[in-house]
Amino acid sequence: MRIEHLSKNYGTETVLSDLSAEIGCGVTCLMAPSGSGKTTLLRLLLGLERPDSGTIADPPRRWGVMFQEDRLLEDLNATENLRFAIGPGLDKARAVSLLERLGLDKEGEKAIRDYSGGMKRRLALARAVLAPSDALALDEPFTGLDEENREICLQLIRETAAEKPVLLVTHDGDDAAALGAAIIKL
């Protein structure tokens, strides 16, 4: 995927100006301080917003997405959330295995409203990874995770990046280094 001379304004505020970059297989990190346009660029790449100028060439047709907000259904349990988001194509055995790997298998029928913040982030990551996609977009996926769960999630992202492009939004250089990622600085 190629980003060519991309610009985006909100009223008189310029958020992105003449950005060009290439995103290929593996992990690519969008890095910048908070409020610098990382999430806006992600929304442009996902087709949720239109640029004021510039183009996005060869975008993936299907994205697995993890937004900054977990966007989970609080009254459902983990499996029900995955089934709702992915639909009848959910590979139940793969889902069970991934929930176990992420330490969410013992939660059983617990409603998401009773999950900790870190548990919700891990479930949101599972949903993005399990969704049929050509690429993954992850917006601050490590927020609220302790070191052990962060390492588990880093390994899952590395494995996923071996199969498809992963675009990770972060302001933390340690995330990019741990993933051996290409970096786009805004």
Q: What is the pLDDT of residues 26-40, one digit of tens each?
A: 999 999 888 888 889
Cβ proximity of 8 and 44 under 8 Å: yes
- Write out the two tokens for 13: 């505020």
**Contacts made by residues 175-179, CB under 8 angstroms, sequence distance 24+:** 175/29, 175/142, 176/27, 176/29, 176/31, 178/154, 179/27, 179/29, 179/154
On the question of pLDDT at 111 being above 80, the answer is yes
Instruction: Identify the DSSP state of 46.
Output: T
Give the pLDDT confidence score for residue 106 in this predicted structure.
83
Cβ proximity of 125 and 149 under 8 Å: no
pTM: 0.92
Helix (H, G, I), strand (E, B) or coil at 52: coil
**Digit-coded pLDDT (tens) for 139-159:** 999 999 999 999 999 999 999
| Average pLDDT over every residue of 3-23 | 94
| Average pLDDT over every residue of 10-24 | 93
Domains present along the chain, CATH in parentheses: 25-37+61-180 (3.40.50.300)
Give the pLDDT confidence score for residue 32 in this predicted structure.
86
On the question of pLDDT at 123 being above 80, the answer is yes
**Residue 54: Cβ within 10 Å count:** 17
Give the pLDDT confidence score for residue 173 in this predicted structure.
87
Cβ proximity of 104 and 126 under 8 Å: yes
**Digit-coded pLDDT (tens) for 159-169:** 999 999 999 99
